[in-house]
Amino acid sequence: MMTLTLDTVDLSSPTAGTSLERALRATGFAQLVGHGLDPDVRAAMIDASQSFFSLDESAKANFAHPELAANRGYRAKGSEALSYSLGEASPPDLFECFNSAPEPLVTSPLLKSTPWPDEVTPGFSTAALAYFQALAAIAAHLDDVIGELIGARWLRERSGRGPDSLASIRYEPGPDGTEEAVDGQQRMGAHTDYSSFTLLDADSVPGLQIVGPDGEWVDVLPDPGSLLLNVGDMLAIMTNDEWPSTLHRVVPMSQGAAPVRRSFAFFHYPNLDVEISVLPGFVRPDQPANYEPIIVEEHLTDKLLAPKDKVASSATNTTAGRTI
């Protein structure tokens, strides 16, 4: 499998916007440096996550949220199959995660309080909320940059009360060091993200793959200390696929992944009531709009529930016929 070298964008550079646009048009992914994430905040999040995932399964299960749409709390290995978000059936995925966010600012089935595990992992909420706020500040800056690039200067103003969430994700084999994967099973199934964009802080180890420019799966290995940014459904719709919402997955050990892999994914959205449609600057006589308008809350609800209920999503699909 070929390893793709992603374009690196220095967010502290005066040419960051130009570099970011070039990278996202090419692959829908960019590697960010100069992002300003405090190493101590990151280290505290790593320690808290490791402490939680080291608990017995029965202890972690106490912090699962009873409402699936809430997307908060613990999700055990095998409880989701992300390919269903694209309408494709698959065996359940081989990851576990803990989803969190600050207290919600608006009322919605998608926005509930996080069932924090501080009683068994002291300081988890403090570490996670500090990390969340650090990435939220980076995302707000990116809203300004991206809004200017695509002609949506309202993006930051209308993305401050959305359903942003932080997923702490762990991939690990069984106690005997093996990872059984049936045919077609992934650590995380092929999907696009449902967000405006996602910020990913991942171990620099094999496992993540994306569909490259030639339509084939390629490995992506983040540089230590970098953040990956990938386009989500919202930006793909607004740019009429000129910024693609790139398919990605995490493969099992049998396909070359490292035995243990950790990542933190910050999903950033417009507010729930925002209508997303193709922006005028991306419609031409030879390129009509690929999408009808969508409401963020409706799109996200369908996409979140499909992998958990194991029911094919009927929401807008931004893969444009690309391979999964």
Average pLDDT over residues 285-310: 97
Average pLDDT over residues 105-124: 96
280 band by pLDDT with thresholds 50, 70 and 90: very high
Please work out, in degrees rounded to the nearest 5, the angle formed at the alpha carbon of residue 151 by the alpha carbons of 274 and 199. 65
Query: What's the one-letter identity of residue 187?
Result: R
Distance of CA 282 to the CA centre of its chain: 25
Average pLDDT of the residues of the chain: 96
What is the pLDDT, as a whole number, of residue 322? 65
- The pLDDT tens digits of the residues spanning 185-211 come to 999 999 999 999 999 999 999 999 999
What is the pLDDT, as a whole number, of residue 324? 54
Percent above pLDDT 90 for the chain = 96
323 band by pLDDT with thresholds 50, 70 and 90: low
As a whole number of angstroms, the distance between CA 26 and CA 293 comes to 25
* Class of domain 8-309 as given by CATH: mainly beta
Q: What is the pTM of this model?
A: 0.97
321 band by pLDDT with thresholds 50, 70 and 90: low
Domain segments of the chain as ranges: 8-309
- The pLDDT tens digits of the residues spanning 308-320 come to 999 999 999 999 7
What sign results for the dihedral spanned by CA atoms 161, 42, 148, 233? Answer: negative
